[in-house]
Each structure stands twice: as C-alpha cells, then as structure tokens.
Amino acid sequence: MILLGGDFLKIINKVVNTVIYLLIFIMILNVGRWLIKVVGIDMLDANTTLYDSIYADDLYLRTMIGKHFDTEGNTFNTNWKEVYPFMDKQTGEILADNTSKSKNDEINDVTFSYFYDDGFIFNEAFVSVGNSLKRKIGINNDLSSVVYSAENNNNKNNTKKENDTSNLVELDNGYYVNLMENRDCSYVLDKLTNFNSYLEEKNIELIYVQAPGKISREMEKEIKTMYNDNSNDLSDELLDRLNQNNVDTLDLRPTFEADNYTSLFYMTDHHWNMYGTVLASKTIVDKLTKGNYDNKIYDINNYDIDRYEKAYVGAYGTQLALPVNEFGENLDVLIPKGKTSLNIYIPEVELNVDGTFADIVDKSIIEEHYSVAQMYYIYYNCCFNRIINNKATNDHRVLLLGDSFNSTLYPYLALGVKELLFVDNRGFDGSIETLIEDYKPDTVIVLNTTSSIVDPEVSEENITLWDFR
C-alpha cells in the first residue's frame, strides 16, 4: 500500500499529536509527583508505603524519604545534635543555640526544579537513550572537545587550552578525570592544626591521610603540555605545611603509584574501587599498628569476588548520561574468605547485629538501582557507622572522619583494628568534640581526597568536612 498526499500527512499529524499528548501527560505526572512531596511530606508529614511506588524510578528521593521518617519515633536516635550536643567548654553546659553544622533532613531541601532536572520521571532512561543516539550519530557536546591521548601525548585539536581546569576529560584508556583548579589550603591547614592541638591535650593521636586523586604525578607530567591540573601540587603543599606544624600525615599516593595506578579507580567515577580500598586499608593499618595485625587480611588472594558484570556507571558517567549497556564497568565486591566476627552498628538503617563482613553489604543498592553512581555506596551511605572486630589482634580504637572515599574504606579498615567508628562529617550535625569525649578513641584519622580540600574564597562545598567542633 502506497500512502499519497493527504493520507501520509494524516499519519504524520496523528504521530505528532500522540507525542504531544504523551509529553503533556508526563509533565502533569511530574507536577503530581512534586505536589505529593510538598503536601504529603512537607506539609502533612504523612508516612506511607505508597511513596516507594510513586518514586519507584528515583532512589535518591526514596532514600531521603526513608531517612526523613526513620528519624522519628524509632529506637535508634539519629538526631545527632541531640545525642552529641555542642557544649560550652568553660561550663560544660549545652549551648543555647546548639549550633548545627549541616542539615540532616535533606528531603525538605528538594525543590521544584529538582523534579525537572535529576528527579524528572524516568530521567535516567530518557537521558541514556538520548545520549546513546547522539553518540551513534557522532554528537558529544557533554565532554570537552579536547580529549587527552595517552599514546601520542597530544590532543585532538593539537592545541593547549591555557589554564584549562574546568573540563571533564576522557583519557585514551577510557578513564574519565576532572581537572582541578588551584586552591589555597590555608583554611584546611588551620582547621587540622587546631584539631591536632585539641587532641594532643587529650593524648589522642591524629593522622591526616591524603587519598590519591585519579591523576597520578607521572600522568600529570605527561598532560602538562595540554592541561593544568593542580591536584598533586595542592596535596604536596598541604602535607608539607601540616608536617611543619607537627601534624602526623600519611600520603597514599606513593603506595598507589607503586601499583597499577589506574586499575585502582573506577573508569567513570572519581572514587577508588574495592582493590584500591583494600590497598589503602593495608597501608593505613601498617602505619597505625606498626604491623600488629594479621597481614593475611589484606592479601587480595584471600577475598572472594562477587562480580556484577558491566553493572556500574559512576558519577562522571551519570553526569554525561553514559548508557550502562555501552559504558558499564564491572563492580567487584570483595568479601574476606576467612571467618570474620563483627558487631555492626549503623543506626540510620536500624542495623545492630553480630555477624560477618557480608552483613555490611547493602544488597538493596544493587537490586533496586543496578547501574548508577549510588552503587559506590554498597556499604551503606550513612554518617555514623561503627564496627567492633571480635577477631582483632590489637586493641586500637579508631575514629575515622572524612569524605565519601571512606564509604568503602571503613569496612576493610575495621578488619585490621579492634574498633572503628566512621563519621561522615558532611551529614553529621552533632559535635565532633562531644563525640570524642564519649567515644574516647586512641587515634583519629581524617581522610579526604584532594578535591575536598576547601578554599572558602573559591567554594564552600564540603566545608563541613573540616568542622571539628
């Protein structure tokens, strides 16, 4: 059958109308999702299992909603400002304003604009399909037009971009890196130096651990002809100045550079992978215990590998909406082969169990949202996590403070000490000093990556990481 003239136009008209009606329906549905959040949660504070269905495509919203209601009336008090209040150092009384560092109830911060950006219904599927089509026809506006080539030490345009520090760059080996601008580390230096003085008065050891970024010092030398990345210079400066101020430090970069550096990071994310995490844990425990631990714990051959094939697209990948079927990388979860005996206490998810390492793995992250950056937080994304290791060969009690690099580090680090408490200071709105008075650690470790080194003159993002009040 051959369609001529008006018949063909009628079909085109029907298709266009159907698409328009579908888009209108999706827009109305999205507004409805926003109204349910505003009325049901913000105004009425109504707890209902229907939220899981209404926001089935959005793990972030479901997580925030779950945290919102979990903090009210349960047996696990996660009101950290109440559990660890800010105290007057002279009188020992709770300060009148009980100064908060951050908001713990993030669901109320989710605005209308979120529902037409990251929270748009089926956003990940729409963007993934769109980007897949763009790549097939040769369009890629999301990445810098200058892409570093490790093989010929050149770039596509054969030109260097002066002071080029704002681009997300794809290397020849498929790894994505984000170039870092120059920052002043004086703010962080002062915070750590003052914190060290406070801990010295209590006879508590402080170790600042510098987590490596994705660009090694050798790689940085190679790309200087094209890009200016300041991550390693900034790390060097901070570590040097801390040492001058008698703050004990540990630089993980030499250990990583002695290994296969890029293989210790995810390709589409800025975080280290589980292999990098185990290597970092061994290096820290070596320094912390001076070898007083079972060194077989960190032998990679003593781990079972629970592999999820081509399942993971990290933060850079989701930023570029890289489709998982094309760019997914393996997610390897490393589980110790030997017997582990741990008490695991994570009050935000109402977890307080005597079990094994496997009990720390949050399988819902894999089952519910199989391919996005949240899978990095497979050991729960909470701001208070304590593990007691019943098989430890030492008595070290450690308080670990820092950024998201610790979210995968803390379970492995706990295998080498008697007790470890990891506090993510970005979401913890209680007093660190009050917590220290209660927990009485032998050692406090502050571990952050270079991108978390804050210069308030540039940005206040992650500034609560350095609030040790």
Listed residue (145, 150, 192, 151) closest to 164, CA to CA = 145
pLDDT value, residue 374: 63
Contact 446, 401 (CB under 8 A): yes
Paired strand residues for 443:
205, 398
Q: DSSP letters of 127-164? A: HHHHHHHHHHTT---SS-S--EETTTTEETTS---TT-
**pTM of structure:** 0.80
What Rg, from alpha-carbon coordinates, does the chain have? 24
Q: Which two tokens stand for residue 341?
A: 């005996």
Choose among 360, 408, 468: nearest CA to 211.
408
pLDDT at 165: 35
Residue type for position 153: N
CB atoms within 10 A of CB 293: 22
Which parts of 369-428 fold into alpha helices (H)?
406-413
CA distance 173 to 266: 12
Query: Residues 6 or more apart from 257 whose CB is under 8 A from it?
Result: 216, 217, 218
Quick one: CA dihedral 147, 374, 110, 130, positive or negative?
A: positive
- Cβ atoms 424, 378 nearer than 8 A: no
DSSP for 216-281, written as a single string? -HHHHHHHTTT----HHHHHHHHHHHHHHTT-EEEE-HHHHHTS-GGGGB-SSSSSB-HHHHHHHH
Cα torsion 208, 209, 215, 220: sign: positive
Q: Decide: 102 and 427 in contact? Cβ < 8 Å.
A: yes
Helix, strand, coil shares of the chain as percentages rounded to 5?
45, 15, 40
CA distances from 93 to 21, 24, 257, 439 (A): 62, 57, 49, 19
Give pLDDT, residue 139.
Answer: 55
Distance CA 63, CA 186 (A): 36
Q: How many CB atoms lie within 10 A of CB 283?
A: 18
318 CB-side CA count, 13 A? 20
Strand partners, 352: 345
Element of type H or E holding 33: helix 6-35
Low-confidence ranges of the chain (pLDDT < 50): 1, 71-74, 103-104, 141-166, 370-371
Reported as a single tens digit per residue, the pLDDT across 48-66 is 878 777 777 776 677 667 6
